[in-house]
Chains A and B, each alone.
Chain A
């Protein structure tokens, strides 16, 4: 990981208009991604993790969704403003994605070779034969045995773990600068998850790819990520180095999240800690801290205004009135 920033997300806002009102799925998200860095985004379902990443490559279905504000700066260009033809050249080439469910993200009617060669021919200008060789090489890197044979098979002939390996091979086949992995191992078993995570770590390190890893598992984040963003109700409530956040979580939500996971390596208390209440409904959220109804440390101000970002050493940033006042 170097200091060179390759992707800047600034105050990104993506809203969805539904019958009941406006869903502020992502509401003012900002972060930087450095070259070779692995950035984790954690949060519960509906916190806006996936929408953030779909917004980065401008793939929000419109209607009902709309990116209403913010910037996504990638090599000096705002991805939200450039024409579609230019964007197509970046997607799958400079920035590629891996999705959660390898069953539905591969086309069941096409051979693996067809699907992989298409991307390589399109983005790298190779002819079909060279592209196939490249695809075989990538499959070999991804740990698929006998890739020369397997490449001419269909997705249903692969197991779940193998399919995710194909997705990783495909995602990395154009040497992207950024790989966005949306819950890449959530559908897999633990032993397969360990295989896939190790593969991703090894390959991205070797190729120098920066990774945005979306997950709900704190365990996966702890083992994979250099930096971490914790999302709640469409906003990043805490961000910083993974080690720092696990060592000393500052936002009450992060604290609660880390405490409520049962631990394998330690003796658990008789009762688990749990955050009371339900995650908020993000339709027409008022401008207060969305976590205050569940927060043990809530104050009056939390019900009135959204807390500003407070900076700490080592790039740590927290949105909570506990710290905002101290610095004022």
Chain B
């Protein structure tokens, strides 16, 4: 992989949130939401991020977008480190990186019309002199974008409450596309949608990717959705990535015990297969990320744990071409 075709490179990203920080009270510790994450995305590729709630998927994406200031680590977009940029440069860099959010109800301002919502990113960049576009061109672009995402341009003056969930998500996608970004950060964009609408939106994401050559960092907790949309998949657990691999490879040959359990727990819509499947049922819940452990974070729930897992933390290592896993079953501790 040459430097040239890597669009986003994330190194040692950490995001720790202080608990109960105030003037008087002493800091009672941290939530280690993201605790050392490395990955890179090539131009035109989709990297899927899966994991259960609280594993740090959304925090990772928000730290990449610099919505949170990361505690440590580098986020290199097109060769420049976003974490060290001055605010004005960061704004300019954000043009290349836009977000689509999970909740199509909460992420649109109810007092703005669909047209205004889609035009807003362009208006902001116009104001700061970062985008050279006339108001007429801007209006044309809004209409063009609406048609691209499958909304009639006659809906421009309607308000969000007049749209259904799927249509609102289309507005959110049009808004993200407005600045012609290269990277789209999609935080569970289909989780709140019904099955029949979910497949429409997933197809839209694929079509747009082909047409505009977009790169996606795509979060979902539904493994089947992630398999469908992604080229590569990263599995997260308690703030770290435990396995990254090509999407087909991961589903055929999951290596990490957590990935195996996750895949076996996902229900498959076919009663015959369901009747025969052997499930790996994990015991217990995901532990709270409020302390750093010396050993493997999955130790408490792992069925294949060994003594070394308790004291030594496995690093992400390549086992075969394009398949990385953090587990001592596959490589010896150093």
A interface with B by C-beta (< 8 Å): 44-45, 159-162, 189-195, 197-198, 216-223, 242-243, 246, 256-258, 260-265, 267-268, 270-276, 278-279
Across-interface contacts of A222 in B (CB, < 8 A): 267-271, 273-274
Q: How far is the CA of A267 from the CA of B249 in the complex (A)?
A: 12
Q: How far is the CA of A45 from the CA of B206 in the complex (A)?
A: 25
Cβ contact of B203, chosen from A160, A218, A243, A274, cutoff 8 A = A274
CB distance from B17 to the nearest CB of A (A): 19
B281 close to chain A: CB less than 8 A: yes
Cβ contact of A216, chosen from B165, B167, B194, B271, cutoff 8 A = B194
B166 close to chain A: CB less than 8 A: yes
B303 close to chain A: CB less than 8 A: no
B interface with A by C-beta (< 8 Å): 52-53, 164-167, 194-200, 202-203, 206, 221, 223-225, 227-228, 248, 251, 261-275, 279, 281-283, 285-286
Report the nearest B residue to A264, measured CB to CB: B224
Report the nearest B residue to A217, measured CB to CB: B267
Q: Which of B197, B199, B223, B248 has the most CB of A within 10 A?
A: B199
In the complex the two chains form, is B269's CB within 8 Å of A258's CB? yes
In the complex the two chains form, is B199's CB within 8 Å of A262's CB? yes
CB distance from A166 to the nearest CB of B (A): 14
In the complex the two chains form, is A263's CB within 8 Å of B224's CB? yes
Report the nearest B residue to A257, measured CB to CB: B195
Q: How far is the CA of A213 from the CA of B223 in the complex (A)?
A: 23
In the complex the two chains form, is B265's CB within 8 Å of A242's CB? no
CB distance from A294 to the nearest CB of B (A): 8
Tell whether A198 pairs with B267 under 8 Å between CB atoms, given A223-B274, A257-B195: no
In the complex the two chains form, is A190's CB within 8 Å of B199's CB? no
Tell whether A195 pairs with B196 under 8 Å between CB atoms, given A223-B274, A265-B268: no
CB distance from A259 to the nearest CB of B (A): 9
In the complex the two chains form, is A257's CB within 8 Å of B196's CB? yes
CB distance from A90 to the nearest CB of B (A): 32
Across-interface contacts of A159 in B (CB, < 8 A): 285
In the complex the two chains form, is A264's CB within 8 Å of B266's CB? yes
Across-interface contacts of B206 in A (CB, < 8 A): 270-271
Tell whether A190 pairs with B285 under 8 Å between CB atoms, given A223-B271, A260-B199: no
In the complex the two chains form, is A218's CB within 8 Å of B281's CB? no
CB distance from B305 to the nearest CB of A (A): 16
In the complex the two chains form, is A278's CB within 8 Å of B164's CB? yes
Please name 15 further chain A to chain B contacts, defined as beta carbons within 8 Å, in addition to the given A191-B282, A222-B267, sorted by A numbering: A162-B285, A223-B267, A223-B271, A246-B269, A246-B272, A260-B196, A261-B195, A267-B248, A270-B206, A271-B203, A272-B203, A275-B196, A275-B200, A279-B196, A279-B197
Report the nearest B residue to A245, measured CB to CB: B271
Across-interface contacts of B271 in A (CB, < 8 A): 222-223, 242-243, 246
Across-interface contacts of B203 in A (CB, < 8 A): 271-272, 274
Q: How far is the CA of A265 from the CA of B268 in the complex (A)?
A: 7
Q: Give the total number of A-B pairs whose CB atoms are below 8 A apart.
A: 132
In the complex the two chains form, is B269's CB within 8 Å of A189's CB? no
Across-interface contacts of B53 in A (CB, < 8 A): 189
Tell whether A190 pairs with B228 under 8 Å between CB atoms, given A274-B203, A279-B194: no
Q: How far is the CA of A264 from the CA of B269 in the complex (A)?
A: 9
In the complex the two chains form, is B195's CB within 8 Å of A260's CB? yes
In the complex the two chains form, is A190's CB within 8 Å of B52's CB? yes
In the complex the two chains form, is A198's CB within 8 Å of B269's CB? no
In the complex the two chains form, is A191's CB within 8 Å of B52's CB? yes
Q: Which of B225, B271, B274 has the most CB of A within 10 A?
A: B271
Of the A-B pairs whose beta carbons lie under 8 Å apart in the complex, a sample of 17, sorted by A's number, is A44-B194, A160-B285, A189-B52, A190-B52, A195-B281, A195-B283, A223-B268, A258-B269, A262-B227, A262-B228, A263-B224, A263-B269, A264-B251, A271-B203, A271-B206, A274-B203, A278-B197
Across-interface contacts of B224 in A (CB, < 8 A): 261-264
Across-interface contacts of B281 in A (CB, < 8 A): 191, 194-195, 198
Across-interface contacts of A191 in B (CB, < 8 A): 52, 261-262, 265, 281-282
CB distance from A301 to the nearest CB of B (A): 23
Q: How far is the CA of A193 from the CA of B285 in the complex (A)?
A: 11
Q: How far is the CA of A199 from the CA of B228 in the complex (A)?
A: 30
Q: How far is the CA of A161 from the CA of B281 in the complex (A)?
A: 13
Tell whether A220 pairs with B267 under 8 Å between CB atoms, given A189-B221, A190-B223, A278-B164: yes
In the complex the two chains form, is A274's CB within 8 Å of B200's CB? yes
Across-interface contacts of B275 in A (CB, < 8 A): 223
In the complex the two chains form, is B263's CB within 8 Å of A264's CB? yes
Lowest 6 CB-CB distances: which A-B pairs, in order?
A: A219-B267, A218-B269, A189-B52, A194-B265, A274-B199, A223-B274
In the complex the two chains form, is B265's CB within 8 Å of A193's CB? yes
In the complex the two chains form, is A262's CB within 8 Å of B225's CB? yes
Q: How far is the CA of A247 from the CA of B265 in the complex (A)?
A: 22
Q: Which of A190, A222, A261, A278 has the most CB of B within 10 A?
A: A190
Across-interface contacts of A198 in B (CB, < 8 A): 279, 281
CB distance from A221 to the nearest CB of B (A): 7
Q: Which of B197, B269, B279 has the most CB of A within 10 A?
A: B269
Report the nearest A residue to B279, measured CB to CB: A194
Across-interface contacts of B286 in A (CB, < 8 A): 189
In the complex the two chains form, is B194's CB within 8 Å of A45's CB? yes
Q: How far is the CA of A76 from the CA of B262 in the complex (A)?
A: 45
Across-interface contacts of A162 in B (CB, < 8 A): 285
Q: How far is the CA of A84 from the CA of B224 in the complex (A)?
A: 46
Report the nearest B residue to A195, measured CB to CB: B281
CB distance from B220 to the nearest CB of A (A): 10
Q: Which of B52, B227, B265, B267 has the most CB of A within 10 A?
A: B267
Across-interface contacts of B248 in A (CB, < 8 A): 267
Q: How far is the CA of A273 from the CA of B264 in the complex (A)?
A: 25
CB distance from B203 to the nearest CB of A (A): 5
